[in-house]
Chains A and B, each alone.
Chain A
């Protein structure tokens, strides 16, 4: 079992709709979670992080964390074609080591 699991997709979303991405993790020592966006051929770009149970909103993005269920999600509201990318979920225990999932590819269709 991988430590951080994501559906590889692709997740196809119409422009203007909400994209919902999910991530589960197995290490209960993970204390904080991160969502990165990665365009093809580019490096990962930090979107947001969350470390408390509940929701955290930043612009069109909302991260949700449920530590009891070991579940993290990312909602992208009003999806735009420029949101088409691979979204990486990562967990962090002690120190700075990020453990990444395999990523979910999102396609936003005009």
Chain B
């Protein structure tokens, strides 16, 4: 089975622009979580979606939003980009909203200039 896929792999944006990141979970997994990992730090939780509903939100500004589609894929949107948004954005897939195992995709490296 294919693992978690994310697109694009790399992205360069300018301050003030908007970006959309995409994630497809492992087949059979219905929950997707998004994390931001700044260089040298551990990942920080942004959102969790399960069955198209938001189940959790981390301490991120309203510039960050997400949604989940009927096929369980997900998008993360970030508006009005700041330099500090430069990070690796990780998507994690799990079977349910409370599964122990979460599997990460390869990530999207976002650079804001």
Our verdict on whether A and B bind, yes or no, reads yes
Q: Which A residues fall within an 8 A CB radius of B?
A: 4, 32, 34, 36, 42-46, 49, 51, 88, 90, 92, 94-103
Which residues of B sit under 8 angstroms from A42, Cβ to Cβ?
Answer: 106
Interface pairs A-B: 6 shortest CB-CB: A100-B42, A43-B104, A97-B45, A43-B107, A96-B48, A97-B56
Residues of A within 8 A of B107 (CB): 43
**B41-73 with Cβ < 8 A to chain A:** 41-45, 48, 50, 55-56, 58
| Interface footprint category on B | 20 to 34
Distance in angstroms from B53 CB to nearest chain A CB is 12
A42 to B3, CA, bound (A): 14
B33 and A44 contact, CB distance less than 8 A: no
Verify B56–A44 contact, CB threshold 8 A.
Answer: no
